[in-house]
Amino acid sequence: MPRSKSSIRWLREHFSDEYVKRALQEGYRSRAVYKLLEINEKDHLFRPGMTVVDLGAAPGGWSQLAARQIGKQGVVIALDILSMEPLPGVEFMEGDFRDAAVLERLLAVLGGRSVDLVLSDMAPNTSGIKAVDQPRGMYLAELALDFAGQCLRPGGDLLVKAFQGEGFDQFFKNLRTAFAAVVPRKPRASRARSAEQYLLARNYRG
């Protein structure tokens, strides 16, 4: 089946992307790792021995970086609706985070252990219709916040992808209620045309 013009354009753009090239050269699983690297350089998210949960983890770039940063004494639990090749130091669960049974499985894996940092790079499959895609994206962000409220230790952090548009301002307010500080981040590796923004919520009130 011949590729469409849009898919050909995407492939051309993808393989000429500087972050795609760097990821291949430096052994990272995705260009998205450079978003997390830049945020970490600015905000110092990781410490040795942390417990980290990575939501929307596949193909594994963020989990890969987190495991390297926290060391062998730390724990990374990753979850995605897609399968993911194994990574050293990362325990992976496959499932749809929107499913209550999957959330229960994740909480069971944690076994009551308090989490230091929740990462969420979750995004919906897009339809190209903003009125459909925006609520889907914000729903995933709300699910990440709800999960953080169940598992974060007091003083823990949440880094979550949200999408500017309807629901964003209210979500920001919800974060401000639950955390002592919330700062927006738009890393250089985040494509300029994307409505995504990362919100770093620090010092969970508990």
Give yes or no: 161 in active site.
yes
Into how many domains does the chain fold?
A: 1
pTM beyond cutoff 0.85: yes
What is the C-alpha separation between 198 and 188, in angstroms, rounded? 12
At 37 the pLDDT is: 96
At 6 the pLDDT is: 46
Phi, psi of 169, rounded to the nearest 5 degrees: -60, -40
- For residue 173, give the CATH number of its domain: 3.40.50.150
What is the C-alpha separation between 162 and 134, in angstroms, rounded? 9
Place of tokens 């753009």: 13
Q: How many angstroms separate the most distant Cα atoms in the chain? A: 54
* One-character DSSP codes across 147-165: HHHHHEEEEEEEEEEEESS
User: Domain limits at 129?
Assistant: 5-204
User: Catalytic one among 5, 161, 173, 186?
Assistant: 161
Structure tokens at 148: 């953080």
**Cβ atoms 79, 92 nearer than 8 A:** yes
154-192: pLDDT as tens digits: 999 999 999 999 999 999 999 999 999 999 999 998 887
